[in-house]
Amino acid sequence: MSTEEGKAKRLANLMPPWKKGQSGNPKGLKPLTIQGIVRQLKKEGYKTFTKNDVSHVYLYCMGLGEERMKTLLNDKETPFLVRLCIKSLLSKKGFEYAEKMLDRALGKVGDRLDITTDGEKLKQEPLSIRFIASKEDLEKLEQEVPDVPEGDS
């Protein structure tokens, strides 16, 4: 095989004859996976936020004046969570969003309802385990333990 023939074959493999308007990559770019995006964002220095961070965003946004809110909202460098929070608060349903945000940040009224101890701390009594080897041991134990009325167990 001459060098010209070999060169022609190599070039034929490099560039398939596409028709005008036909894509050379019909499947397109490989879609990014969530893991790939996470790795990329970590490399770029982005960090995740905590539940506490979300609560702080809600509470700080609600403490801002309208002009400051609008400034942050229009700044494309403001984190999306902050912009979303502000946009929600400035919408027609702002009060409903504020109520939901307060519930998430501080807890709903009545979430900490105590119906068992009237607010007193729980008393932890030591646990006693006895092995009963005879009928006499069982009778002795039954005399030591007070009767508990039915329904109070």
Instruction: Find how far residue 118's CA is from the centre of its chain.
Output: 34
* pLDDT tens sequence across 77-132: 999 999 999 999 999 999 999 999 999 888 887 656 566 766 677 777 887 787 88
Residue 153 has pLDDT above 50, yes or no: no
| CA atoms of 74 and 87, how far apart (whole Å) | 10
Whether 141 has a pLDDT exceeding 90, the answer reads: no
Q: What is the mean pLDDT of residues 40-46?
A: 92
Q: What's the pLDDT tens digit per position in 2-36? A: 678 877 777 766 766 667 777 767 676 677 788 88
